[in-house]
Structure 1
Amino acid sequence: MTGPGPTPAARPGGPAVVRVLDELVVSSLCVGPMENTAYLLTCRASGTQLLVDAADEADRLLALVRASGDGLATVVTTHRHRDHVGALAAVTAATGADLLVGSDDADAVVASTGVTPRRRLVHGDAVICGHVTLDVVALRGHTPGSVALAYREPGDAREPDAVAGRAHLFTGDSLFPGGPGRTTSRADFTQLMDDLEERVFARFDDRTLVHPGHGAGTVLGAERPRLGEWRARGW
């Protein structure tokens, strides 16, 4: 149990950090030499599972899947970088899970992993995990097809980790504590900042929990006052 605040960083080689919400169990696991955080979402009503980023260490990810629910139905890849897809082929082969990935990153993911996506995601799409719906938020800039997933807790939350109506964002490498993810040009940085401001900070309130692709989480309220600073520094 993690409490209502930001999710602490899972430790390399350590056990999953588990957050129990009313509709979902969110288990985060640190994998691979880049210390990626993979998130396993388990629908409490159905046992259906969705994995955000099959990044590395397929054996540990599969062990978490087996221990946590009734079967992995979907893998969502937040973006095409190799450290986020290292275990994708092995995990989908072992589970039969469908791959979903941002449309503009899909060809690169196929080329590097050999896994063909069932869906190429665009901004505003919905992804279903059992009885739970997550919204797709395209955050272009770190890569052209980077996507985040947004989940909002129900209004009558009861679990100790839960907060009624609070949103959760699984942001890949597009947003971290302290700023946006790395970009390779000023145009890409501007695009990412535009998307973050318009699609994240303008839409979600300060309670929103950010679950990034590496390290500890944050809340939007801690990051919002620094948007102007990020713009000015250019990274």
Structure 2
Amino acid sequence: MAYHGQVTVGGPPDVHELTHLIISKVAVGPMDNNAYLLRCRQTGEQLLIDAAEEPQTLLNLIGPSGLASVLTTHRHGDHWQALAAVVAATGARTLAGRHDIAGIPVATDVPLDDGDEVRVGEVALTARHLVGHTPGSIALVYDDPSGHPHVFTGDCLFPGGVGNTHQDPQAFTQLLHDVETKIFDRLPDETWVYPGHGDDTTLGDERPHLSEWRARGW
């Protein structure tokens, strides 16, 4: 079945099968967070993006193959409630943006900076540091050599706008700048966007609205 990215809490994961990478998306409660499991087809190594909640749901998704790494996109509590349990069960190493690790109550093994490479088996992804939703938010970009790019944006980019900056004009300006210069300016319209909550989108669907977002200030 074709991947659509529409998942519900308590429902099954949706699976996006690429040439080199398998992406499984699941929703967990109570704040309808998305978690993403990336699996390298060549090696079977797996990386989890955001151990948000429901550790047993995430461990079921991970399965018997084990988990090499878990990346936390940012320090907000709804994105790491299951982190300690998942790490305890799997022994996975932890990754997070350098400027957010103080707010994540599980030790970060690998602090990430803008441009750092994150590997899952034979697949390489790139960390992008986006400031505004939090000081250290990380988006993860997979530039698929056999297709279009894919970007996991945490709470920095959604269908219809950038993430919440709590009515702080400076934070909004910074976040929009980073999203434009590090995501929209570097990636094509076909880029698939996997956000921290809700449905997926593409950069092509969102690009025409950048000026609207700037004008409204959120």
C-alpha distance in 2 between matches for 1:47 and 1:197: 34
Aligned to 2:197: 214
Instruction: Indicate conservation of the 8 Å contact 1:47/1:71, yes or no.
Output: no
C-alpha distance in 2 between matches for 1:53 and 1:2: 24
Aligned to 1:158: none
User: Are 1:134 and 2:125 matched, yes or no?
Assistant: yes
Q: What number of residue pairs does the alignment pair up?
A: 217
* SS in structure 1 at match of 2:27: strand
Aligned to 1:119: 110
Query: Percent of aligned pairs with the same residue?
Result: 53
Instruction: Indicate conservation of the 8 Å contact 1:54/1:61, yes or no.
Output: yes
Unaligned runs of 5+ in 1: 156-163
TM-superposed CA distance for 1:8, in Å, is 2.5
**RMSD of aligned C-alpha atoms?**
0.9
If the length of structure 1 is used for normalisation, what is the TM-score?
A: 0.90
**Partner residue of 1:8 out of 5, 10, 13:** 5
User: Are 1:173 and 2:170 matched, yes or no?
Assistant: no
* SS in structure 2 at match of 1:228: helix
Deviation string, structure 1 residues 49-68 (Cα, Å, up to 9, x no partner): 0000000000010011016x
Residues 1-235 of structure 1 aligned to structure 2 (within 5 Å): 1-3=1-3, 7-66=4-63, 70-109=65-104, 113=105, 115-155=106-146, 164=147, 166-184=148-166, 185-235=168-218
TM-superposed CA distance for 1:2, in Å, is 2.6
If the length of structure 2 is used for normalisation, what is the TM-score?
A: 0.97
TM-superposed CA distance for 1:176, in Å, is 0.2
4+ long deviations beyond 2 Å? none
Unaligned runs of 5+ in 2: none
TM-superposed CA distance for 1:214, in Å, is 0.5
- Structure with larger RCO (C-alpha < 8 A, sep 6+): 1
